């Protein structure tokens, strides 16, 4: 054991000596390893951070949540021109399904529309995400409040001029003032603030921190049902433990019957189950990971050739020393491990540099952007493992060539 520890120490000394005596040659050769490790770990860290963010944003939603509207989350066999002719879901359909689906735990009606400017006295905030929803939205979305409450069923049905605002919007409009009970101007009308959400950060479906939630019936009363700038959606949360296929079939049959669709006519709506959306996201993330591996693979291949070149040159330069070691009794495996360890150490140095670069960039981007980039311990281990593997592959042939040298010929060629 002590022999191999000494061998590892000597190999480290030879590797560091190669860096000192042939700085430019060694650094250029290790550049491929550094870029390769940097590329793959950077991609994996970015994708892991994105995946973590998505799962955090979607954690409050049940995977069986259904978004019922004229559009589809994923690819569809129905041509685009035909989908454009589909009717929007209506509030009447929402009220009908609310009573017609016994296996639905919650239903809410939501309208997606353009951003607006919100004002309070002389202050104004533009690009505010206005979210008109019915009162059941809170039971589906699971919003958390720093103060106040969400509007109730009575306020929702009557289209009362009340609003729940996000943390950032409250801070920008009121600063240190208590927002509850204050009135803001939106759509030319005063809305009373009844609740403020906890700070959440950017999410998959917009930024709740800069949003204003208002009763959906206010928008219906002001703009009507048929407005091209609005996209209405019925959000359905089924009861836990039910058969989703049977529930979707029941929902389809009930809505087809309500719309008067005849046998043979296609559904003019889409039942988008949230789990299908998350599966699509998982597929995108897997593709991004694969792309990162392919890009980094070429860099790692070039880096491996560079390290192998260094090791062949190192064998050539130390041929006389190898001969002396062998003549003094050094076994072939001792010589082989010596060069193999040296190649691994060189690659590990390049890999560590690449990982440190990823870590520094992750810290910088986390501070600059409202997004947390995380370099996980598993990715650090993966980068180190890849560097070691490249060193083993790149160093094996030079190490075998060194181990097979004849001591007499080696000493003679070095004289």
Closest by CA to 14, choosing from 393, 328, 353, 339, is 339
- Structure confidence by residue, pLDDT tens digits, 108-134: 999 998 889 999 888 888 888 899 999
Distance, in Å, from the CA atom of 339 to the CA atom of 335, rounded to the nearest integer, reads 7
Distance, in Å, from the CA atom of 62 to the CA atom of 47, rounded to the nearest integer, reads 23
- Res 12 pLDDT > 90: no
For residue 328, give every residue at least 6 positions away whose Cβ sits within 8 Å of its Cβ, in sequence order, or none.
none
Q: Are strands 66-69 and 270-273 parallel, antiparallel or unpaired?
A: antiparallel
Question: In the structure, what pLDDT confidence band is assigned to residue 60 with cuts at 50, 70 and 90?
Answer: low
- Structure confidence by residue, pLDDT tens digits, 387-410: 888 888 888 888 788 778 777 776
Distance, in Å, from the CA atom of 316 to the CA atom of 353, rounded to the nearest integer, reads 27
Question: 296 vs 213, which has greater pLDDT?
Answer: 213
- Structure confidence by residue, pLDDT tens digits, 276-332: 566 666 677 777 777 777 777 777 777 778 778 777 877 777 777 777 767 776 677
- Structure confidence by residue, pLDDT tens digits, 148-199: 999 999 999 999 999 999 988 999 998 888 899 999 999 889 999 999 998 8
Distance, in Å, from the CA atom of 152 to the CA atom of 336, rounded to the nearest integer, reads 77
Q: Are strands 189-197 and 116-120 parallel, antiparallel or unpaired?
A: unpaired
pLDDT score for 343: 80
> DSSP string of 198-209?
PP---BTTB-GG
């Amino acid at each position: 054991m002590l022999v191999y520890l000494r061998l590892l120490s000597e190999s480290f000394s030879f590797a560091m000596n190669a860096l000192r005596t042939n700085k430019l040659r060694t650094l250029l050769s290790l550049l491929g390893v550094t870029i390769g490790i940097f590329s793959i770990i950077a991609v994996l860290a970015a994708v892991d951070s994105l995946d973590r963010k998505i799962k955090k944003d979607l954690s409050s939603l049940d995977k069986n949540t259904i978004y019922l509207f004229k559009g589809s989350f994923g690819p569809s066999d129905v041509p685009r021109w035909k989908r454009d002719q589909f009717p929007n879901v209506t509030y009447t359909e929402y009220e009908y399904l609310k009573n017609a689906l016994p296996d639905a735990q919650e239903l809410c009606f939501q309208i997606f529309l353009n951003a607006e400017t919100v004002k309070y006295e002389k202050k104004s905030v533009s690009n505010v995400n206005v979210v008109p929803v019915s009162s059941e939205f809170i039971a589906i979305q699971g919003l958390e409040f720093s103060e106040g409450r969400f509007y109730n069923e009575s306020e929702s049905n009557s289209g009362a001029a009340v609003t729940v605002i996000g943390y950032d919007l409250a801070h920008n409009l009121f600063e240190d003032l208590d927002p509850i009970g204050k009135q803001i101007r939106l759509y030319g009308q005063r809305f009373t603030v009844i609740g403020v959400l906890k700070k959440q950060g950017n999410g998959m479906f917009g930024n709740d921190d800069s949003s204003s939630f208002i009763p959906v019936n206010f928008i219906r009363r002001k703009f009507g049902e048929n407005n091209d700038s609005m996209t209405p959606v019925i959000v359905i949360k089924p009861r836990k433990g039910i058969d989703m296929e049977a529930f979707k079939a029941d929902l389809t049959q009930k809505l087809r019957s309500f719309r008067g669709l005849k046998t043979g006519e296609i559904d003019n709506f889409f039942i988008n189950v949230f789990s299908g959306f998350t599966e699509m996201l998982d597929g995108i993330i897997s593709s991004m990971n694969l792309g990162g591996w392919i890009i980094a693979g070429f860099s790692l291949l070039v880096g491996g050739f560079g390290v192998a070149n260094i090791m062949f040159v190192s064998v050539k330069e130390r041929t006389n020393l190898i001969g002396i070691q062998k003549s003094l009794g050094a076994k072939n495996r001792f010589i082989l491990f010596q060069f193999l360890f040296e190649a691994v150490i060189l690659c590990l140095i390049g890999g560590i540099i690449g990982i440190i670069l990823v870590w520094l960039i992750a810290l910088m981007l986390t501070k600059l952007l409202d997004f947390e980039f995380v370099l996980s311990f598993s990715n650090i281990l993966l980068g180190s493992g890849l560097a070691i593997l490249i060193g083993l592959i790149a160093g094996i042939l030079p190490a075998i060539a060194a181990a097979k040298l004849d001591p007499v010929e080696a000493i003679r060629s070095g004289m």
